[in-house]
Amino acid sequence: MDIILLGPPGAGKGTQAERLVKDFSLSHVSTGEIFRAELKNATPLGEKIKKVMATGGLVSDDIVLEVVGSHVKKNESLNFLFDGFPRTVPQAEGLDKILATSSRELTAIVYVNVSDAEVVRRLSSRRSCKTCSSIYNVATGPFPAAGQKCSRCGGDIVERADDKESVVKERLSVYRTQTAPLIDYYSGIAPRKFIETDGSAPIDEVYDAIKAAVKDRLAGGR
Ligand code: AMP
């Protein structure tokens, strides 16, 4: 059972991912997190992708597919939740091949739909923990602990460099041109597995809708 979480930056995918991972015993594969770790550790890959990440562009499909392909191969016994991947149609086609090679199949593609205006509003008030990457939002919550410390690990809360307004606008435009075509791609090739939710609803409501729909797909329903 593998699931894809799709939606613009700031749709709340990270928050929903945490819950899905727990309830369905999934292994969270966030390509954004993987790349941020490469940057933090100043690896050769980190050096290669530094500029494109800082400006809100996309890492090349070849690199992304190589990273995800080897991760899937190394952890074949796990069920995956892909978050922030695929991001382009060629990545989706590459994922189809990766899954087919290991006789795996997608259970659901969860699309969290949020307007551009809401994305800009949310991301400009989003903060994250420097240590454990937990997400906070100074306008809508969850709020960090006093002194801008992480409520989970006590780490420092910072604004991600790519959450600055100019970069957010670039990320959104990249999303609309390169990632949004995946909505047609998946609703076309896998209409029964495609789940659309209104991401502007309260977090718990969005999650309840996603959870019920995933359960339904697992039971083989429509
Ligand atoms: P995210 O945390 O998912 O918003 O990702 C942060 C940044 O990492 C993106 O703005 C891209 O530069 C890069 N990135 C993450 N996932 C992908 C992907 N699947 N394809 C290309 N670039 C990606």
Q: What does R_g of the chain's alpha carbons equal in angstroms?
A: 17
CA dihedral of 201, 202, 206, 209, whole degrees rounded to 10: -90
Q: Is the pTM of this model over 0.85?
A: yes
Q: Is 217 a catalytic residue?
A: no
Q: Is 152 a catalytic residue?
A: no
Atom of ligand 1 nearest to the CA of 52: 12
Structure tokens at 21: 């991972």
Q: Active site residue: 36, 171, 193, 217, which one?
A: 171
CA–CA separation, 94 and 24 (whole Å): 25
Query: In the prediction, which pLDDT does 221 show?
Result: 55
Q: Is 160 a catalytic residue?
A: yes
Query: In the prediction, which pLDDT does 8 show?
Result: 95
Atom of ligand 1 nearest to the CA of 68: 19
Q: Is the C-beta atom of 35 inside 6 A of ligand 1?
A: yes
Mapped onto helix, strand or coil, the DSSP state of residue 129 is strand
The rounded Å distance from CA 28 to ligand 1 centre is 15
Atom of ligand 1 nearest to the CA of 30: 3
Q: Is the C-beta atom of 94 inside 6 A of ligand 1?
A: no
What does each of the 222 residues of the chain score in pLDDT, given as a tens digit? 999 999 999 898 988 999 999 999 999 999 999 999 999 999 999 999 999 998 889 999 999 999 999 999 999 999 999 999 999 999 999 999 999 998 999 999 999 999 998 888 888 888 999 999 888 988 888 899 888 899 999 999 998 888 888 888 889 999 999 999 999 999 999 999 999 999 999 989 999 999 999 999 998 755
Residues whose CB is less than 8 angstroms from the CB of residue 153 and which lie 6 or more positions away in sequence, other chains included = 129, 131, 132, 134
Mapped onto helix, strand or coil, the DSSP state of residue 80 is strand
Q: Active site residue: 126, 127, 193, 217, which one?
A: 126
Q: Is 104 a catalytic residue?
A: no
Q: Whose CA is nearest to atom 1 of ligand 1?
A: 32
